[in-house]
Amino acid sequence: MTAATVMSGLLAVEVPYWASAIIKVGVIALVVPTAALVLGYVFLLKMMSFMQSRLGPMEAGPYGTLQLLADGLKFIQKEDIFPAKADRTVFALAPLVVLVSTFLIYVVIPTGPDAVVAQLDVGIFYALAVSSLSVVGILMAGWASANKYALMGGLRAAGQLIAYELPLVLAVMGVVIQAGTLDLQKIVTAQAEGEIFGWGGIGNPFILTQFVGFFIFLVAVQAETTQPPFDMPVAESEIVGGYQVEYTGFRFLFFFMGEFGTAFAFAALAAVLFLGGWALPWGDLTHWGFNIAGPVIMLVKVLAVAALIFWFRFTYPRLREDQLQRLAWKFLIPLSLVNIVVTGIFKVVL
Amino acid sequence: MIAEHVAFGIIAAVMVASALRVVTTRDIMHAALYLVIVLAGVAALFLLVGAEFTGITQVLIYIGAVIVLFLFGIMLTRTDFDQDEETDHKRKFPAILTALLLLAVMIGALVDRFEDVKLDANLPGGQTPQTTAQVSDELFSQYIVPFEAVSVLLLAALIGAIVIARREEGG
């Protein structure tokens, strides 16, 4: 029996609805912390250290690979502290809201022809909608902490996330117009089967035609995940961590996982929208092998996008509030509108 | 259809309970957060009848934008954190009366229009009741004039809001 027949035999097994639902929830529950760990270790600890001519953590595990696991264990052991005047229920729920928003994005990200939790007709629209839920969690945290720095951080975060939500959505519009669908799977196949002036050697990854959209998307993602240079909401030197200031132990860990999990999810969305997703432009896209090769191809592309995001993070100094708003409203949004118009004209003409 | 009925019952019960808490809680922040649950319930109901696009738009617009503006406004204007005794319920009887009248009008209108109409769950070819592509096709062909009218109306409201805000700043 060849591998192919074994595989198709396995896929043919009828899995009951509840079992497949449990498996899917389990996979996402594993992927999100793993994604946060990978990004945290590769980029936050190692890449930043190398850029600053130091080694970073070296003691926990080979080359410090277990450092974040050790940190995670440390967080879980810490006392669960509520500030005396805090609104306890809202304070406790806030990190969960942020984390749920992160988990929900992963539902639609495809990693193979069948390797996707749910293929939605409105995939990318859904992903952008649920990613906007995290703002509610951040505002809840900022309010419930009963701390003026937390309140200021929450307000700064809300202002920033609302402003950068628009370029994020508008940047995606160009890709949607070109692919003619909101479905992430169909966006992947549109790129793999596309042709550049009749030459299909590398498909047609949308980064070639939508490079403006890719740039706007990356800047907006940077702001949406409140990473430097857009870290006004959590600026340590001004408001000592903003909405996170009163959080300790595993609740702080939730915020950490939410931030890096969302960064990973947005990097995956960028890989799907602009870099061709799990597919390679050669071979049969419906072949079962892509369900195994797909996640690996995706991981390579996601790490490439994440490297760009973290490269910006460690390079630029923090923007002031007025500079931040001006960049969004007076530069990125008009630019993305022009991008949509130009894409629309080309779509009609060609 | 039993599963759908059970799901509808659960969602509706949660929505009604949360809606009552929106108007009975004395903490205005909690009122806004209970409203999130109500609006999420509306989105869930849209998804339940297969209106994917409307359901997700509900999440994006109402929870992602409107509620965030509510919370933003509360955080900017309120400094007291404890239960607010000033949030009185003095006008609760006129409010209850208005709500009941509105309920009666809406039930009357819905029963009058949809008395014998049933949502057909078994469309030919296993297609969902209405896909996003169908929505946009209808919006930009059959309903293009109302769509443009609403766009102009919204633009006018936007410009009006900016003008009012700027005047207060100068005065």
The pLDDT score that the predictor gives to residue A75 is 82
Q: Is A100 on the interface with B (CB under 8 A)?
A: no
* Both tokens assigned to B26: 């004395």
Same domain, B145 and B76: no
Q: Does B102 reside within a domain? A: no
Q: Does B130 reside within a domain? A: no
The pLDDT score that the predictor gives to residue A1 is 37
Cβ-Cβ contacts under 8 Å, A159 against chain B: 72
What is the rounded CA–CA span in Å between residue A47 and residue A306? 11
Name the band, by pLDDT with cuts 50, 70 and 90, for residue B151: very high
Q: Which of A287, A274, A300 lies closest to A204 in space, CA to CA? A: A274
φ, ψ (nearest 5 deg) of residue B45:
-65, -40
What is the rounded CA–CA span in Å between residue B57 and residue B38? 15
Please count the other Cβ atoms lying within 10 Å of the Cβ belonging to residue A8. Answer: 11
Q: Closest partner residue to A122 among B65, B71, B132, by Cβ?
A: B132
Looking at B81, B109, B127, the residue that finishes a domain is B81
- CA distances from residue A35 to A27, A269, A292 in whole angstroms, order as listed: 12, 14, 18
Q: What number is the average pLDDT over the span A49-63?
A: 79
Q: What number is the average pLDDT over the span A140-165?
A: 83
Name the band, by pLDDT with cuts 50, 70 and 90, for residue A139: confident
Q: Does B122 reside within a domain? A: no
Res. A41: pLDDT tops 80 = no
Q: Does B161 reside within a domain? A: yes
The pLDDT score that the predictor gives to residue B101 is 94
Contact present, A127 and A269 (Cβ < 8 Å):
yes
Q: What number is the average pLDDT over the span A245-252?
A: 81
Res. A17: pLDDT tops 80 = no
Q: What number is the average pLDDT over the span A151-165?
A: 84
Q: What number is the average pLDDT over the span A149-165?
A: 84
Boundaries of domain holding B32:
1-81
- CA distances from residue A292 to A115, A116, A120, A250, A267 in whole angstroms, order as listed: 8, 12, 21, 33, 20
CB contact under 8 A, A121 and B63: no
The chain B residue lying nearest A151, using CA atoms, is B75
Contact present, A136 and B68 (Cβ < 8 Å):
yes
Res. A198: pLDDT tops 70 = no
Q: What number is the average pLDDT over the span A166-183?
A: 86
**Per-residue DSSP letter, B124:** G
Q: Does B49 reside within a domain? A: yes
For A274-312, write each residue's pLDDT tens digit. 888 777 777 677 777 777 777 788 888 888 888 888 888
- A153, exposed or middle or buried, with CB in 10 Å at 0-12, 13-18, 19+? buried
> Comparing A109-113, B33-37, B39-43, B127-131, which segment has the lowest mean pLDDT?
B127-131
ipTM: 0.75
Res. B9: pLDDT tops 70 = yes
Q: What number is the average pLDDT over the span A190-194?
A: 77
3-state SS, residue B33:
helix
Is the pTM higher than 0.90? The answer reads no
Burial code (b: 16+ CB inside 10 Å, e: under 16) for A263-300 equals bbbbbbbbbbbbbbbbbebeeebeebebbebbbebbbe
Name the band, by pLDDT with cuts 50, 70 and 90, for residue A188: confident
Residue with tokens 């991981």: A299
Q: Is the dihedral of CA B101, B105, B107, B108 positive or negative?
A: positive
Q: What number is the average pLDDT over the span B20-32?
A: 82
Q: Does A59 reside within a domain? A: yes
Q: How far is CA A323 from the centre of its chain?
A: 24
For A73-96, write each residue's pLDDT tens digit. 888 888 877 887 777 888 888 888
Same domain, B76 and B150: no
Name the band, by pLDDT with cuts 50, 70 and 90, for residue A246: confident
Residue with tokens 């035609």: A209
> Comparing A140-144, B103-107, B142-146, which segment has the lowest mean pLDDT?
A140-144
What is the rounded CA–CA span in Å between residue A162 and residue B64? 9
For B82-128, write each residue's pLDDT tens digit. 555 555 667 778 888 998 999 999 999 988 887 776 665 555 444 55
3-state SS, residue A342:
helix
**Count: domains in chain A:** 1
The pLDDT score that the predictor gives to residue A7 is 47
Q: What number is the average pLDDT over the span A144-160?
A: 83
Q: Does B37 reside within a domain? A: yes
Contact present, A146 and A87 (Cβ < 8 Å):
yes
CB contact under 8 A, A151 and B75: yes
Same domain, B77 and B148: no
What is the rounded CA–CA span in Å between residue A314 and residue A52? 9
Q: What number is the average pLDDT over the span A137-145?
A: 85
Residue with tokens 């403006």: A212
Return mean pLDDT, chain A.
Answer: 80
Which chain A residues in 238-297 lie under 8 Å from chain B, judged by CB atoms?
none
Q: Closest partner residue to A120 among B36, B52, B76, by Cβ?
A: B52
For A264, what's the count of Cα atoms within 13 Å in the CB-facing half-sphere? 28
Res. B149: pLDDT tops 90 = yes
Res. A201: pLDDT tops 50 = yes
Q: Does A120 reside within a domain? A: yes
Q: Does A78 reside within a domain? A: yes
Same domain, B76 and B151: no
Quote the minimal CA–CA distance from B109 to chain A in Å: 32
Boundaries of domain holding A72:
15-349
Q: Is A38 on the interface with B (CB under 8 A)?
A: no
CATH of the domain at B29: 1.20.120.1200
**Count: domains in chain B:** 2
CB contact under 8 A, A155 and B33: no
What is the rounded CA–CA span in Å between residue A138 and residue A150? 10
Residue-by-residue DSSP string for A100-129: HHHHHHHTT--SSSS--S---TTHHHHHHH
Quote the minimal CA–CA distance from A184 to chain B in Å: 14
The pLDDT score that the predictor gives to residue B171 is 47
The pLDDT score that the predictor gives to residue A174 is 86
- CA distances from residue B6 to A20, B1, B11, B47 in whole angstroms, order as listed: 21, 9, 9, 15
What is the rounded CA–CA span in Å between residue B46 and residue B39? 11
What is the rounded CA–CA span in Å between residue B128 and residue A26? 28
Q: Is A120 on the interface with B (CB under 8 A)?
A: yes
For A93-112, write each residue's pLDDT tens digit. 888 888 888 888 888 888 87
Q: Is the dihedral of CA A242, A243, A245, A250 positive or negative?
A: negative
Q: Does B20 reside within a domain? A: yes
Please count the other Cβ atoms lying within 10 Å of the Cβ belonging to residue B153. Answer: 10
- CA distances from residue A271 to A133, A264, A294 in whole angstroms, order as listed: 22, 10, 12
Looking at B64, B81, B98, the residue that finishes a domain is B81
Q: Does B100 reside within a domain? A: no
Q: Is the dihedral of CA A273, A275, A276, A277 positive or negative?
A: negative
Cβ-Cβ contacts under 8 Å, B27 against chain A: 87
> Residue A63: left (phi > 0), alpha (psi -120 to 50), or beta?
left
Res. A64: pLDDT tops 80 = no
